[in-house]
Structure 1
Amino acid sequence: MSQRINKEVPDNFFSPDPGDLVVHAPGRINLIGEHLDYNGGHVLPAAIDHQLELIFRRNNTSICRVYSESFDNYTEISLDDLSPVNTGWENYIIGILAQVKKEVSVELRGFDCLIRGALPVGAGLSSSAALLCGLAKGINFLFNLGISDKSIILMAQKAEQEYAGTQCGVMDQFAVVKGETDALINLDCKTLEYEIIKAQFKPYRLLLLNTNVTHKLSDSEYNKRRQECEEALKIINSAGNNFSYLSDVPLDTLLNLKSIIPPELQERARYVIEENQRVLQAVMALKEGDLITLGDLMYASHNGLRDRYNVSCAELDLLVAHAQKDPKVLGARMMGGGFGGCTINLVHQDHMDEFIRKISQSYQETFDRPLTPIAVSISPGIRCAALKDRT
């Protein structure tokens, strides 16, 4: 692993002009179905109206010059040296450059890229997937490489696995690229087949509550959970079965094998099996306009994440417990990898301000830490366009 020294932004780094390529790369929510993408299950994500903005311009060299306003960090990356580095966010850039370089037959050329916008890192909104997919989509558009959306999704996943060390599934990247306005994606992570589900929540709205407890998935229990699921599946198949994914295992099969599966692995497997069924039930509830059932499934999902998958924390549990006592909140659950980040809540639109006020006060009093509410709307996936004159 090499070490690159971050440099001062050079005087000749470009200032965006009308006509430059701009890529809007959204964050994502997941209504239900956490930790199922790497277990071959169904998930129900959507792109949201909070996004990164990446502005590109060719520079006719072999150097990629990237400045992130959020990190106040500038780096130069040679296309002749795409080895990982010791610092964090640069590995995402290097990783996607390496994947693009492998994908195309033409010589990849350098560019300048300015990254700005607000997607909080560690909040469970998939800022990493937005960055990776936004970079890949922008490079593809800038140089007319003809890379398909599916390839961009899989390249972004591989870059995060190989360069950032997070053994993620494919849900985040899929939602960021394929999201549609006012629609959720019922994604089968085994086959990547998907169904667009209209998100009709009125008179309720989606509200995220950011605990401001940050996580770094590669340093947390995320990769351990994936390993535990793989081990559980291996034991199940050693008993004469041949399941490809843990989500394929019937609950009866798991219960009949309790004597050979360690208790902790039983809990992980049971969560996956039950959560996959909850996603399918949530899809039916949405199609039938049954928001009460949808909310109940969200609470059940959080219980499973807390009690069987053990990826919640005190801050998340307090927020969900507070929501569950409020009759104008239909459902709530932790969202993302766990150990911090956000809860997602389905709150009556006329009750938003009061709910935020009360839950923020309770959170501050309990943890001596502010709570950050984030109202979200479901929006399109990645979009490329020419930068408009803002003057």
Structure 2
Amino acid sequence: MRISTPGRICFFGEHQDYLGLPVIAAAISRRISVEGSYRDDNKIILNLPDLGSKEEFTLDTTFPYVKPRDYFRSTVNVVRRKGLTFSKGFEVTIHGNIPINSGTSSSSALIVSWAHFLDKLSDNPLNFSPKELGEIANAAEVLEFGEPGGMMDNYSTAIGNVIYLESTPVIKVETLTPRLGTFVLGDSLEPKDTLGIIARCRYGMEEVIKIVTDHDPAFSIFTTPVEKLGDYRSVLSGDQLSLLKANIEDRDILVEGKALLIDSAENHAGTGFDKHFGSLLYKHYQNLRDHKRTSTPKIERMMNAALNAGALGGKINGSGGGGCMFAYAPTHAEEVAEAIEREGGKSYIITVDKGTRIEG
């Protein structure tokens, strides 16, 4: 049995899902696979040749976690709670070509593949839907360890293609089917500053929302227009006001982007759509760079090089402070990839891809 799951990029709503705001994300044509079969005992052996490592444990009744982010054990715990049982162990080999620790959801893709594999080889397969696999992965990756992430990574890798995801007041997932061209993913090869960025973009913004709501109970991150923000200058510092304005603008960019993507599924307008879509990505990037401070000088050089080589827009991807950016390059993709490499990045030409699937 071989299962593969894609990584993902975020089009709109970066650093907003944990505030309860929607996101639009796309699965990409870089994937992680889990391939294996039953053993005659109750051992689970996981071969990870890409990392030069191996993990092994037994299918005991209880699974205490032995390290931070012990995802292989946590996934087994979660699917057992869902009702799966296992009378035999497995030996699997895990391969992938998603850049690791770079903001493209390699860990979520791994967990979705592992959960999907466990379901299919359990004693009593429940044939979880892609959405259910996303929920399982979110539980195994985020909830089990009290992590601060949202749901975007897990749902987008499991479901695939382009999704619109709301998490407030209830979870709502829409599959979008835009007609999109090629992208170029650029790995800066810089380690991400996830905790530092989260401190500003999540906890800093949560503090801003509390201050503003105490001052004006009618304020809503979901509905207050950007024109209203000047009313809060008396209670916010300049830095806090810029962070609030960026989030409100990014909220509105997503709304415009969603309408554009839906329209393109029915009536792709060629160059006009491509330029509009690229410009929205870049507006989102400017807010992430200038106000949420998730970019780096190297990523800025990579982005400028991509635009000069023919890309129509792009943005930093993931938590930021390093990691990946991507550029929308429906034409000149090779030139854009080469330009990113000249700035010291590692480039990959990618397209939107399907979600988790059985291979072969």
Same fold (TM over 0.5): yes
| Per-residue deviation, 1:303 | 0.8
Whole-angstrom distance in 1 between the partners of 2:126 and 2:172: 25
- Paired residues for 1:280-299 under 5 Å: 280-286=255-261, 287-288=263-264, 289=269, 290-299=273-282
| Per-residue deviation, 1:224 | 4.9
Give 1:12's aligned residue: none
Q: 2:357 aligns with which of 368, 371, 383?
A: 383
Give 2:79's aligned residue: 100
Unaligned stretches of 5+ residues in structure 1? 1-20, 364-369
| Per-residue deviation, 1:192 | 3.2
| Per-residue deviation, 1:331 | 0.7
Give 1:339's aligned residue: 321
Whole-angstrom distance in 1 between the partners of 2:200 and 2:90: 37
The reply to whether residue 125 of structure 1 matches residue 104 of structure 2 is yes
Unaligned stretches of 5+ residues in structure 2? none
Whole-angstrom distance in 2 between the partners of 1:76 and 1:31: 37
Q: 1:307 aligns with which of 271, 290, 298?
A: 290
| Per-residue deviation, 1:163 | 5.2
| Per-residue deviation, 1:128 | 0.7
* TM-score normalised over the length of structure 2: 0.86
Q: Does the 8 A contact of 1:299 with 1:331 survive in 2?
A: yes
Whole-angstrom distance in 1 between the partners of 2:326 and 2:118: 33
Q: Does the 8 A contact of 2:306 with 2:337 survive in 1?
A: no
- Paired residues for 1:1-391 under 5 Å: 21-59=1-39, 61-78=41-58, 79-86=60-67, 91-104=70-83, 106=85, 110-143=89-122, 144-162=125-143, 166-180=147-161, 184-190=162-168, 191-202=170-181, 205-215=182-192, 217=194, 219-222=195-198, 224-239=200-215, 241=217, 246-286=221-261, 287-288=263-264, 289=269, 290-326=273-309, 328-349=310-331, 351-361=332-342, 363=343, 370-385=344-359, 388=360
Point out the more displaced range, 261-270 or 225-234: 261-270
Whole-angstrom distance in 2 between the partners of 1:332 and 1:311: 14
**Aligned letter for 2:78?**
Q
| Per-residue deviation, 1:343 | 1.5
SS at match of 1:168: coil
**Aligned letter for 1:284?**
A
Whole-angstrom distance in 1 between the partners of 2:145 and 2:98: 18
Distance 1:216 1:154, change over 3 A: farther
Q: What is the total number of aligned residue pairs between the two structures?
A: 348
| Per-residue deviation, 1:41 | 1.9
Point out the more displaced range, 93-102 or 260-269: 260-269
* TM-score normalised over the length of structure 1: 0.80
Distance 1:61 1:281, change over 3 A: same
Whole-angstrom distance in 1 between the partners of 2:223 and 2:72: 35
| Per-residue deviation, 1:209 | 1.3
| Per-residue deviation, 1:171 | 0.8
Distance 1:106 1:242, change over 3 A: farther
Distance 1:229 1:247, change over 3 A: farther
**Aligned letter for 1:95?**
S
SS at match of 2:242: helix
Q: Does the 8 A contact of 1:42 with 1:280 survive in 2?
A: no
Whole-angstrom distance in 2 between the partners of 1:154 and 1:223: 25
Distance 1:232 1:49, change over 3 A: same
**Aligned letter for 1:24?**
S
SS at match of 1:195: strand
Q: Does the 8 A contact of 2:311 with 2:333 survive in 1?
A: no
| Per-residue deviation, 1:153 | 1.7
| Per-residue deviation, 1:255 | 3.6
Task: After superposition, give the CA deviation of every residue in 1:330-379 in whole Å (9 maximum; x if it has no partner).
Answer: 11211111011221111242x23333334432x1xxxxxx3211011111
Give 1:11's aligned residue: none
Whole-angstrom distance in 1 between the partners of 2:143 and 2:210: 24
Identity of aligned residues (%): 22
Task: After superposition, give the CA deviation of every residue in 1:92-137 in whole Å (9 maximum; x if it has no partner).
Answer: 2122222222222756753222211222212221001101111111
Q: Does the 8 A contact of 1:45 with 1:175 survive in 2?
A: yes
SS at match of 1:278: helix
**What is the root-mean-square deviation in Å for CA atoms of aligned residues?**
2.6
Q: Does the 8 A contact of 1:39 with 1:247 survive in 2?
A: no
**Aligned letter for 1:85?**
V
